[in-house]
Structure 1
Amino acid sequence: MNPYIFRRILQAFPVLLGITLITFFFTELAPGDAVSAMLLEQQGGISGEIDVAALRAKYGLDQPAPVRYVRWLGGILQGNMGVRVRSGVPVAEEIGRRLPATLQLMLGAMLISIGLGIPLGVWSALRQYSLTDYILTGFVFMGISVPGFFAAIALIYLLAVKLGWFPTSGYSTPGQDFTLWQQALDRLHHMALPALVLGIESTAAIMRYTRASMLEVIRQDYMVTARSKGLPTWLVVSRHGLRNALLPVITIIGLRLPSLFGGAIIIETIFNWPGMGTLYMDGVSTRDYPLIMSMVLISAVVIVVSNLITDLSYALIDPRVRYD
């Protein structure tokens, strides 16, 4: 294994440990617990102090907080995320069912962001101060400034309700006997609108940094030299300009991955998308701390891995960058 990668992996362990400690601490500060949430939900389905005490003992909630944290951490080290207090279903099983839907949504949003952000950023830079540049710059400011939940509601109203181009919510069309190909198309049809909403802010950020980076690159001497040789404009831009302008853009793409994962919580709730976001909201509302802790750990791992991939991507784009 490359020594750089090995060092980064070793550095990730104390970071992940600190994140779980902070999350557990704030979870403990919140009033009530999972049993209290069950009592409120069932409205008297469980009665008596003996029953409540038995439930707390069953799920280990009667133990001191440090003991519960150490038990949870020991289970994680053994590959056991625990069970949900509310349903008794293993947390790993719940996450395994929901994670693919969230990853699909994130992948769709990232493809939209990269596929639109980089070409439009380059186009805006090559036409600086033109009408096209002003329009695209206005979109950048709107994409960064408008909250995701507002953009979701607005696009649902416009594209789904008024124009009928997309379904308003859901993961697939129920009650249809689709072939495998039709099922894939139906899934993409349902995913298009939430992925578009989730990727708007990332598209604006990538476009903004691509434009700024390209404006800096096209003024360099080697770009002038390439043009003076009579090379086509597209070749000068793609081979000499864009490759050198991509380093800061890669950083932004890497930093957007955790934001997409976090933003999916709100977007999935609005679009009723059966992913990690709706599961996390359910865990918070029921004070299901094994589920909350496991999902925060997964989020932290996503952030650490995305930062590592970002660093390693530098060497692929720029041969001058080496990690020994």
Structure 2
Amino acid sequence: MSTYLSKRLIYMLVILFAASLLIFCLYALTPGDFISGNIKLTPERKAELREIYGLNKPVLERYGQWMSNAFHGDFGYSLAQQKPVLQLFNEYIWNSFLLAAVSTFLTWVIAVIVGVVSAYKQYSWFDTLVMVAIFAAMSIPSFFIGLFLIKILAVDLKWLPPGGMLTTGSNATGMAYLKEVIHHMTLPVVVMTLLGVGSLTRYFRSNMIDVIKQDYIRTARAKGLKESKVLFTHALRNALLPAITLVGFELPALFGGSLIIEKIFNWPGIGQLYMQSFGLRDYPLLMGFTMFIAILTVIGTLLSDILYHVADPRVRLQ
């Protein structure tokens, strides 16, 4: 295991180095930036700012300085927000994490239960309804579902707020603050769950159909075990093994934010900040966030490999 981890860490460092160079060059060589696009600045002030932030230096020299600062926990300074990039991450990323964590938990719970029951009752009316719902959830755009639920639940029925994280002007604290946040996050969580549960349910259903046809499942039934124990103890455990590989993609998704959902519901998350930075050409923030997602991706991939080995010791890590 130690030899494997050592090799993977070296491999990860090489990937991150290549990714950092590609990310920096992509943004650095893009025409224009926040300073040149700001019409309020005089040419003299623009030249002064470019000198202060080193934007008039060669690309490779700027990359070396950026990487040196990144190793010390400094991913740059957002010119548009007038704050360090890491400070902005700390302010916005946990809001996105809250939405993603709750919706991911609900998505996996619903997908596992519905997928198992649908596979057990293959070709029944329940399975047919599930498949119709799956394809409907996968085919309808997220912005349509979001706007439709806002129209019905927020505008017409007034059950839930249409957007935001808190009521405008709210000074709630403690439990009142928690209730207000939960009240506002209900709609975006419902939409994100509906969007994710379709493909994941189909994935679990397919895996379960393959597993319940295996000989050891028939043997377990022949021993007189309860059907619920056969399904959720013997079959589900092996059906979940291929899904462990998806864990590697869940980690960056938890912190990456949902660009469309956060925009529709005006949720103050990192995804919406990321989209605003594109329009403002705030490249330090864009580079820092993209590099952060790259780091989470390689870490998530490593975790999924290790978890797969833990779940199935027959898989050897080499």
Determine if the TM-score, normalized by the shorter chain, exceeds 0.5. Answer: yes
Q: List runs of 5+ in structure 2 lacking aligned partners.
A: none
| Paired residue secondary structure (2:41) | coil
Residue 32 of structure 1: aligned partner: 32
Q: Which residue, out of 112, 118, 128, partners 1:134? A: 128
In the alignment, is residue 15 of structure 1 matched against residue 9 of structure 2? no
CA contact (8 A) 2:247 2:300 kept: no
CA contact (8 A) 2:96 2:257 kept: no
C-alpha change, 1:290 and 1:214, in structure 2 (3 Å) is same
CA distance in 2, matches of 1:14, 1:279: 29
CA distance in 2, matches of 1:254, 1:152: 27
State how 1:274-293 maps to structure 2 within 5 Å: 274-293=268-287
CA distance in 2, matches of 1:288, 1:321: 45
In the alignment, is residue 219 of structure 1 matched against residue 245 of structure 2? no
Deviation at 1:223, TM superposition (A): 0.6
Residue 198 of structure 1: aligned partner: 192
Post-superposition CA distance 1:209-265 (Å, at most 9, x none): 110010001111111111111111111111110001101122234334445655612
Q: Which residue, out of 286, 300, 309, partners 2:303? A: 309
Residue 53 of structure 1: aligned partner: 47
State how 1:1-324 maps to structure 2 within 5 Å: 2-39=2-39, 45-47=40-42, 49-176=43-170, 178-259=172-253, 262=256, 264-323=258-317
Residue 42 of structure 1: aligned partner: none
**Percent same amino acid at aligned positions?**
37
Q: Which amino acid aligns with 2:129?
A: I
CA distance in 1, matches of 2:271, 2:15: 23
CA distance in 2, matches of 1:201, 1:312: 28
CA contact (8 A) 1:206 1:249 kept: no
Please identify, of 101-110 and 165-174, the stretch whose mean Cα deviation from structure 2 is larger.
165-174
CA distance in 1, matches of 2:179, 2:81: 33
Deviation at 1:86, TM superposition (A): 2.6
CA contact (8 A) 1:81 1:91 kept: yes
Deviation at 1:281, TM superposition (A): 1.6
Deviation at 1:124, TM superposition (A): 0.7
CA contact (8 A) 1:83 1:89 kept: yes
Q: RMSD over aligned Cα, in angstroms?
A: 2.1
CA contact (8 A) 2:24 2:63 kept: yes
| Paired residue secondary structure (2:57) | coil
Q: List runs of 5+ in structure 1 lacking aligned partners.
A: 40-44
Post-superposition CA distance 1:107-140 (Å, at most 9, x none): 0121121111111111110110111111111122
Post-superposition CA distance 1:10-68 (Å, at most 9, x none): 211222222222222322343211102322xxxxx322x22221121122111122222
CA distance in 2, matches of 1:145, 1:87: 37
CA distance in 1, matches of 2:133, 2:255: 23
Deviation at 1:290, TM superposition (A): 1.3
Post-superposition CA distance 1:266-312 (Å, at most 9, x none): 21122111111122122222212211110001111221222222222
Q: Which amino acid aligns with 2:175?
A: W
| Paired residue secondary structure (2:66) | helix
CA contact (8 A) 2:97 2:257 kept: no
CA distance in 2, matches of 1:155, 1:136: 21
CA distance in 2, matches of 1:178, 1:5: 47
CA distance in 2, matches of 1:256, 1:151: 22
CA distance in 2, matches of 1:141, 1:256: 22
Deviation at 1:176, TM superposition (A): 4.1
C-alpha change, 1:80 and 1:3, in structure 2 (3 Å) is same
CA distance in 1, matches of 2:172, 2:82: 34
